[in-house]
Chains A and B, each alone.
Chain A
Amino acid sequence: MGLRKTFDKLEPTFKKGGKLSAFGSFFEAFETFIYVPKTVTAKGTHVRDSIDLKRTMSTVMLALLPAILYGMYNIGVQTSLASGAAWGFWQCIWFGFLKLLPLYLVSYIVGLFFECLFANIRNEEVSEGYFVTGLIIPLIVPVTIPLWMLALAVAFAVVIGKEVFGGTGYNIWNPALMARAFLFFAYPKQMTGDDVWVAGVDGFSGATPLSQLAATGSVDYSVADMFFGSIPGAVGETSTLAILIGAVILIWTGVASWKIMLSCLAGGLLVGLLGDVPCYYQLIMGGFAFGCVFMATDPVTSAQTEAGKWIYGFLIGAFAVLLRLFNPGYPEGMMLAILVMNTFAPLIDHIVVSSNIRKRLKRAQTV
């Protein structure tokens, strides 16, 4: 095939000693994007499973697709409601697409630039981790976010959140949440409040269910609206249904841990009992469902032992709702709950592994 030949011809230029060897990682990333490489097993097992990180990550991207598509549609719906224009389905989608596209362009161009840069410095292959992170970041910010802020946040998340620790697989905190936390603390005005959630209509105040709850103690939206997602909110978080479809894909393929999702749900429901609204409201409002399905389950930053996953998930759910209910200054708690538990995940694992060690020592003593 012509393209293959071109690659073969170009390869020496990018190899060590070649003219463009400084860009080896870029070349490699692009080549393996198009072709599964022809490398064969050298040591150890002679055959390998067909799964690789590209497949894993693309499964997560597929699971995100319903939330992205619905988010796009909902951008249009919210604007049409706010402006009073009666838009049709395709008009909503098109409007949302035009609003979301720049966010994705910024997210991927800035993020992948730093990924490739660091892979090049380290002389490693470019890891696929950012494809998922880059897809998530625009989904957890308001659609009205200025692009330069998004670019800053992405750069912060990739460089400080991930690369300084050693890149994908070594980071402590979920990089997408690092981006959101950066924005939240650096530019709170553009991230919170009631007038950031609707695009294209200046000064329109569209309160999210959570901010309504925090301000008035009750929620005006119907359960159906909150479940299907025709409410204001960050792009991808509004439709619990779309997120559930993603959850089914993740659990069906086994890519994300159902234990974390289930225990997170349980934790949220349990603490939700303390609130004034029915506890299941907590699951369909705000970013709870999105965080629970797509971010708490990040394999790198979550607990890695099976017993640890139960504890980790439960505490995320519990802390998230606890923050919502008892912290008047900040209506949403999911982001901080996940970041806190990311921090404690190694400790949970340490406790679980220590019990295995104690068991082994005890066994040695009794014999």
Chain B
Amino acid sequence: MSEQIRLKKGLDIPVAGAASQTIAKTVSADIVAIKPTDFRALVPKMVVKEGDRVLAGDPLFVDKNRPQVSFCSPVSGTVEAVVRGEKRKLLEVRVKADGKMEYRRKKAAVPASMTKEKAAERMLAMGLWPMVIQRPYGIIANPDDCPKSIFISAMDTAPLAPDYDFVLQNRFDDVQTGVDVLSKFTKGGVHFSMNYYTCPSSEFKKLRGVIFHEFEGKHPAGNVGVQINHISPINKGEIVWTVDLLSVAMIGKAFNEGIYDATRLVAVTGPAAKNPAYVNAIQGAPMAAFADFFETGENVRLVSGDILTGENVGPDGFLGFFDNQVTILKEGDYYETFGWCKPFRCKKFSFSRTYWSWLCGRKKYDMDTNTNGGPRPFVVSDVYAKVLPMDIYPVYLAKACLAKDIEKMENLGIYEVLPEDFALCEFVCPSKVGIQQIISDGIDLMLKEMA
């Protein structure tokens, strides 16, 4: 029996440009990049030099504080460049693919016969450990910890998010093996949350060895943090792990076939995307590979991920470590005469009812990146809570973060949240407050103080 949890708060942003469930093509990834910046609080240390030859699954850099945690190349080829920013901060490691896709192979292994230590060792050796994220804080898990439980969300409710049932078609065995591996690490079980409406037809309903939960509701019901808050909230001193479903499949494949297979179906979405669809691509794929999905010369923003939490990587950027979605948006750098007082503005979407969009049913909107107003002090008090289905007072938590009041942050639930859970609050905010950044800074402060 699975538990059904219904969430009333939330918002599915009706943005146009959902990917049709077809595979348009296979993009050629000439140069791919792995970015240490995709991980919170990671201090990377290079283990290869420019010009070195690597196979797919060979480590590029490791975690300086835990050198057994390595980050691998998704392709075989040569290390093209090590890109550094201010203070020599490592930003990207670029690998030029040789097109042969040779894997660093290991023997297949059956997790059932392995001990926890053996499983961890294999995951570390194959560069799979960075996919295991610890809560609180959203950092890479410590392999020596024993988490209360492990959570997997098989439900992505983010705007225009790829459909897991589509991107992981025929990968059931990999996911099952991945789950088997993860269940070695905890006594609290592996919690597997699915969409209440689509789960009866989903293959993953047949998984063994997981505790099923069914969630019903709008975004952020699919956020693993929101799900944890309803299944078994994190208390002070507790640790849980989360792994996204795509990574579970990668972990499974690494055990089933012994390779680090970072290829994935990527959804190309967004209002400025021409014929949005799925493509065969790879972790760290260059944005240049998606160039024929938008008009050249048009001022567009290329986002790795979704419109709420993705990163603006630009036309020369690369797909993020965890991402399997590219969102293409028009830049909203235009003036609109008397925009704020036009009574209708039917082409604009608003969660608030000061526009008409709440009466427009299922209309999809051609959104752009205009902020639709300037930043202001915080005024309207009740909007955040309407899109945050957690037992948390977002405004008070944000204020505690701003005040750097550790005890208050702790009391108000900083351990239970990540910035992504507040993305919708940021979207609906009439004062245009950057609450994700505030929460993110708060978490960084906690990491520093608690270290």
Contacts and interface: CB of A to CB of B under 8 A. Distances in A.
Interface of A: 1, 4, 32, 34-41, 43-56, 58-59, 125, 127-129, 166-170, 252-255, 257, 299-300, 302, 304-306, 309, 353, 356-357, 359-361, 363-364, 367
Given A37-B374, A50-B345, A56 B427 contact: no
Contacts of A309: 382
B333 A49 contact: no
A36 B336 contact: yes
Contacts of A39: 333, 370-371, 374
A127 B376 CA distance: 7
Interface of B: 13, 15, 233, 235-238, 301, 303, 307-310, 312, 327, 329, 331-341, 345, 348-355, 357, 367-382, 385, 391-393, 395-396, 411-413, 423, 426-432, 434-437
Nearest to A359: B391
A257 to B, nearest CB: 6
24 contacts: A35-B338, A36-B335, A38-B334, A40-B332, A46-B327, A48-B372, A48-B373, A48-B426, A52-B376, A53-B376, A53-B380, A53-B430, A53-B431, A56-B379, A56-B380, A58-B340, A127-B376, A253-B352, A253-B354, A254-B353, A300-B379, A353-B396, A357-B412, A367-B235
A257 B382 contact: yes
Main secondary structure of the interface of B (DSSP, over half): loop
Contacts of B380: 53, 56, 255, 299
Contacts of A35: 335-339
Given A47-B367, A364-B236, A125 B434 contact: no
A253 B352 CA distance: 7
Nearest to A127: B376
A49 B393 contact: no
A168 B379 CA distance: 8
B385 A306 contact: yes
B31 to A, nearest CB: 25
Contacts of A53: 373, 376, 379-380, 430-431
State the majority secondary structure of interface residues on A: loop
A302 B381 contact: yes
Contacts of A59: 354
Taking each of A46, A300, A364, which has the highest tally of chain B beta carbons within 10 Å of its own beta carbon? A46
Contacts of A125: 374-376
B437 A49 contact: no
B413 A360 contact: yes
Contacts of B378: 169
B434 A44 contact: yes
Contact of A47 (B13, B396, B430): B13
A168 B378 CA distance: 8
Contact of A38 (B329, B370, B413, B437): B370
Nearest to A60: B354
B355 A46 contact: no
A4 B427 contact: no
A363 B233 contact: yes
Nearest to A309: B382
Contacts of A356: 391-393, 412
B429 A169 contact: no
Contacts of B391: 356, 359
A50 B307 contact: no
Nearest to B235: A364
A364 B148 CA distance: 13
A41 B351 contact: no
B340 to A, nearest CB: 4
A304 B353 CA distance: 19
Given A4-B335, A34-B338, A363-B235, A357 B411 contact: yes
A170 B341 CA distance: 25
Contacts of B374: 32, 37, 39, 52, 125
B227 to A, nearest CB: 17
Given A49-B427, A253-B354, A54 B381 contact: no
Contacts of A50: 345, 348-350, 355, 357, 372
A167 B411 CA distance: 29
Contacts of A43: 434, 436-437
A46 B354 contact: no
A59 B380 CA distance: 13
Given A46-B307, A51-B352, A253-B352, A299 B371 contact: no
Nearest to B338: A34
A49 B434 contact: no
A49 B341 CA distance: 15
B377 A166 contact: yes
A32 to B, nearest CB: 6
B380 to A, nearest CB: 5
A46 B312 contact: yes
A48 B370 contact: yes
Nearest to A40: B369
Contacts of A367: 235, 238
A30 to B, nearest CB: 13
A31 to B, nearest CB: 9
